Structure 1
Amino acid sequence: MSQVFEGYERQYCELSAILTKKCNSATILDGEQKKQKLSEIKAGLDDAEALIRKMDLEARSLPPNVKATLLAKLREYKSDLNNLKTEVKRITSGNVNQAARDELLESGMADANMVSADQRQRLMMSTERLNRSSDRIRDSRKTMLETEDLGVSILQDLHQQRQSLLHAHDTLHGVDDNISRSKKILTTMSRRMSRNKWIIGTIIVVLVLAILLVLYFKLAH
């Protein structure tokens, strides 16, 4: 998850809690004190809106899988901000009579604090679920990257083995050519040897005939 978004998120949650307390205290004030408190609340609402806009811009700049998670969380914060604005309008309208003030003093503040606490609890639970989802997404992405690295390593090994096989094939092809040339040379030598044997045999026969012929003439005379 984006650290920038988390920073804005913490600021908003703290500001929301402060504004809720101020709204509760403003309902029991009168005159200038009430006006001053409402002025502080409205300024805080402006700051809260600015934080909402910053979170929205940050969420939309992130990858789709993270953006969807953060936008879902952001809708909770926008709903919380709208509730605060409605409460401020109700306080500003001046329609709360003295009896309502007394009731708020006795039970209203406790109920409002309980509702606010419950809402913050729900927001925290939603945040925790979204954080777990983000962790699972990060783990899945890590596993995917590790698998991709393993695949690249296997492809590199296969490429090296292919190169080795091609080199061995070229070597065998060269040996085959050498064997073919050697075979041709041996065949040529064998033919020459056969021819030489015939020539030598012919010479020996001629010499023997010549010797016999010489002996014949000598013996005849």
Structure 2
Amino acid sequence: MSNVFEGYERRYCELSDNLSKKCTAAVALNGEQKKQKVSEIKAGIDEAEALIRKMDLEARSLQPNIKAVLLAKLREYKSDLNNLTSKVKKIVSGNLNPSDRDELLESGMTDTLTASADQRARLMMSTERLNKSSDRIKDSRRTMLETEDLGVSILQDLHSQRQSLLHAHNTLHGVDDNVGKSKKILTNMSRRMSRNKWIIGGIIAVLVLAVALILYFKLRK
């Protein structure tokens, strides 16, 4: 449905309702008051005709399936406008017999009741749309809150994981320090063992040399 067409349609329905009420009121008037009321009605009919032309142009610019529906509605509005024009002609002619007068008054009352029913129907539809919109807003708000709670939970989990990673990093850093210290101790021990090995080797060499010298001197005597 075209929003432009709906705007014209709403304005036409309001104008048609107003013109029907003015026709009913004009039946009971005389003299200048009646002329003034008829003048107002004719101006309203001109405006209604302009709205129908606009609706017709808008409907013909739409897709065929939508166009057919809107043109059908437009035919009803044109028929309604023709009835209003006929009423005005009868009121202007001033030759209303009692039956015509009663018919106009009865028609005016019927139109008023119909307009009121239409207004109630439109009001109910608007209220229903508002309720649906309100429900959608509530659903969206509930979804947003659930998403926010989920986001907070994820952030808390990430924070907990970050703390675990930091703790693991600190533990690994401590292990690295201990490994470094152990490496230094092993290096020092290895150096000491090497040094002790050379010392023991030197002592053994001195002892062997001393034994050799002792044997040499004994054998020489």
Could you tell me the TM-score, scaled by structure 2's length?
A: 0.55
1:19-72 CA-to-partner distances (Å, cap 9, x unmatched) read 55323212444554333113334667869x99xxxxxxxxxxxxxxxxxxxxxx
Q: Structure 2 vs 1, CA of residues 128 and 162 (structure 1 numbering), >3 Å: closer, same or farther?
A: same
Q: Which runs of no fewer than 5 residues in structure 1 stay unpaired?
A: 1-11, 51-77, 217-221
Counterpart position of 1:112 = 111
Counterpart position of 1:34 = 34
1:158-194 CA-to-partner distances (Å, cap 9, x unmatched) read 4434543443444344334323322311221222343
The residue type equivalent to 2:86 in the other structure is: R
The residue type equivalent to 1:38 in the other structure is: V
Q: Structure 2 vs 1, CA of residues 42 and 161 (structure 1 numbering), >3 Å: closer, same or farther?
A: farther
Following TM superposition, by how much is the alpha carbon of 1:81 offset from its aligned partner in structure 2, in angstroms?
8.6
- State the SS of the aligned residue for 1:132: helix
Counterpart position of 1:94 = 90
Distance 1:23 1:80 in 2: 19
The residue type equivalent to 2:184 in the other structure is: I
The residue type equivalent to 1:160 in the other structure is: H
Following TM superposition, by how much is the alpha carbon of 1:17 offset from its aligned partner in structure 2, in angstroms?
6.6
| 2:173 pairs with 1:177 | no
Q: Structure 2 vs 1, CA of residues 19 and 92 (structure 1 numbering), >3 Å: closer, same or farther?
A: closer
Following TM superposition, by how much is the alpha carbon of 1:15 offset from its aligned partner in structure 2, in angstroms?
8.0
Q: How does 1:118-137 map to 2 (within 5 A)?
A: 118-137=117-136
Q: Structure 2 vs 1, CA of residues 43 and 87 (structure 1 numbering), >3 Å: closer, same or farther?
A: same
Q: Structure 2 vs 1, CA of residues 181 and 173 (structure 1 numbering), >3 Å: closer, same or farther?
A: same
Q: How does 1:39-54 map to 2 (within 5 A)?
A: 39-41=39-41
The residue type equivalent to 1:129 in the other structure is: E
Could you tell me the TM-score, scaled by structure 1's length?
A: 0.55
The residue type equivalent to 2:24 in the other structure is: N
Q: Structure 2 vs 1, CA of residues 39 and 134 (structure 1 numbering), >3 Å: closer, same or farther?
A: farther
- State the SS of the aligned residue for 1:194: helix
Counterpart position of 1:140 = 139
Counterpart position of 1:103 = 103
- State the SS of the aligned residue for 1:94: helix
The residue type equivalent to 2:21 in the other structure is: K
Count of residue pairs the alignment pairs up? 183
The residue type equivalent to 1:174 in the other structure is: H
Q: Which runs of no fewer than 5 residues in structure 2 stay unpaired?
A: 1-11, 52-73, 216-221
Q: How does 1:18-29 map to 2 (within 5 A)?
A: 20-29=20-29
1:139-166 CA-to-partner distances (Å, cap 9, x unmatched) read 1221232233234434433443454344
Counterpart position of 1:189 = 188
Counterpart position of 1:54 = none
> Alignment RMSD, CA only?
4.8
Task: Answer whether contact 2:21 2:108 (CA < 8 A) is retained.
Answer: no
Bigger CA drift: 179-188 or 89-98?
Answer: 89-98
